[in-house]
Structure 1
Amino acid sequence: MDTADMPGDALLDRIAGRAAATDAENGFFDEDLAELTAAGYLRAHVPTEFGGGGATLTELARAQRKLGAAAPATALAVNMHHVWVATAATMARRGDDALTGVLTEAGAGEIFGFGISEPGNDLVLFDSLTTAVPSGDGFEFTGVKIFTSMAPAWTRLGIFGKDETAGEPTLVFGFASRDTPGISIADDWDMLGMRATQSRTTKLDGVRVPGEHIVRRLPVGPNADALTFGIFSSFLLLVPSVYAGIADRALEIAVDAVGRRRSLRTGLALSQDPDIRWKIAEATMRVDSLTLQLDSLTRDVDGGPGATEHGADWFRQLAGLKTRVIRTAREVVDLAFEVSGGGAYATGSELARLYRDVLAGIFHPSDDESAHSTVASAVLGPID
Structure 2
Amino acid sequence: MTIAVSPNIAVDPNPRDTERWPAGAPGPARAAEPAHVIRDAAEALRVAHALADTFRAGASERDRSGRRPLAELDAFSQSGLWSINVPRAHGGPGLSYRTLAQVIAIVSAADPSIGQIAQNHLGIVASIDTVSDEAQKALLFGLVLAGTRFGNAFSEIGTPRAADFRTHFVEDGDHVVVQGTKFYATGALLAHLVPIVALDGEGRAWYAIAERNAPGLTVIDDWSSFGQRTTASGTVQIDGVRVPKSHLVPAWKGYARPSADGAIFQIIQAAVDAGIARAALAETIDFVRTRSRPWIDSGLERASDDPHTIRIVGDLTIRLHAAEALLDRAGLALDAAVADPDADTVAAAQLAVAEAKVLTTEVALSTTNTLFELAGTRATLAEHNLDRHWRNARTHTLHDPVRWKYAIIGNHALNGVNPPFHAWS
Q: Same fold (TM over 0.5)?
A: yes
Shift of 1:305: 12
Aligned to 2:315: 282
In the TM superposition, 1:101-180 aligns within 5 A as 101-121=139-159, 123-124=161-162, 126-164=163-201, 168-180=202-214
Letter in 1 for 2:286: D
1:182 aligns with 2:213: no
Shift of 1:372: 5.2
Shift of 1:78: 2.1
Aligned to 2:69: 29
In the TM superposition, 1:1-384 aligns within 5 A as 1=38, 3-4=41-42, 5-89=45-129, 91=130, 97=134, 100=137, 101-121=139-159, 123-124=161-162, 126-164=163-201, 168-216=202-250, 218=252, 223-225=255-257, 229-260=259-290, 261-263=292-294, 264-265=296-297, 266-303=299-336, 310-364=345-399, 366-368=400-402, 370-371=404-405, 374-375=408-409, 378=412
- 1-structure distance, mates of 2:325, 2:381: 33
Shift of 1:209: 2.1
Q: Deviations over 1:117-137 (max 9, x none)?
A: 11134644x432212223334
Tell me if structure 1 keeps the 8 A contact 2:333–2:352: no
Change (3 A) 1:259 1:306: farther
Letter in 1 for 2:333: D
Tell me if structure 2 keeps the 8 A contact 1:44–1:53: yes
- 1-structure distance, mates of 2:380, 2:308: 21
Tell me if structure 1 keeps the 8 A contact 2:77–2:149: no
SS at match of 1:64: helix
Letter in 2 for 1:61: A
SS at match of 2:151: strand
Change (3 A) 1:77 1:223: closer
Change (3 A) 1:31 1:180: closer
Q: Deviations over 1:72-128 (max 9, x none)?
A: 111111222222223334x28xx975862432221122100122111134644x432
Shift of 1:139: 2.7
Q: Which moved more, 1:36-45 or 1:184-193?
A: 36-45
Q: Which moved more, 1:6-15 or 1:152-161?
A: 6-15
Tell me if structure 1 keeps the 8 A contact 2:358–2:402: yes
Letter in 1 for 2:273: Y
SS at match of 1:46: coil
Letter in 1 for 2:335: D
* Residue correspondences, number: 370
- 1-structure distance, mates of 2:184, 2:288: 37
- 2-structure distance, mates of 1:67, 1:28: 16
Tell me if structure 2 keeps the 8 A contact 1:45–1:86: yes
Tell me if structure 2 keeps the 8 A contact 1:132–1:172: no
- 2-structure distance, mates of 1:152, 1:199: 8
Percent of aligned pairs sharing the same letter: 25
Change (3 A) 1:10 1:373: closer
Tell me if structure 2 keeps the 8 A contact 1:87–1:234: no
- 1-structure distance, mates of 2:328, 2:213: 39
Letter in 2 for 1:114: N
Q: Which moved more, 1:29-38 or 1:97-106?
A: 97-106
Change (3 A) 1:355 1:307: farther
Shift of 1:315: 3.7
Tell me if structure 2 keeps the 8 A contact 1:6–1:63: no
- 2-structure distance, mates of 1:16, 1:96: 40
Change (3 A) 1:98 1:242: farther
Letter in 2 for 1:330: L
TM-score with structure 1 setting the length: 0.85
Shift of 1:183: 0.6
SS at match of 1:59: helix
Q: Deviations over 1:248-272 (max 9, x none)?
A: 1111111222323342441332222
Shift of 1:283: 0.5
How large is the Cα RMSD of the aligned pairs? 3.0
Tell me if structure 2 keeps the 8 A contact 1:159–1:173: yes
Tell me if structure 2 keeps the 8 A contact 1:347–1:353: no
Shift of 1:286: 0.9
Aligned to 2:421: none
SS at match of 2:357: helix
Change (3 A) 1:50 1:188: same
SS at match of 1:176: strand
- 1-structure distance, mates of 2:168, 2:113: 31
Shift of 1:235: 1.0
Structure 2 unmatched ranges of 5 or more: 1-37, 419-425
- 1-structure distance, mates of 2:339, 2:213: 45
Shift of 1:230: 4.3
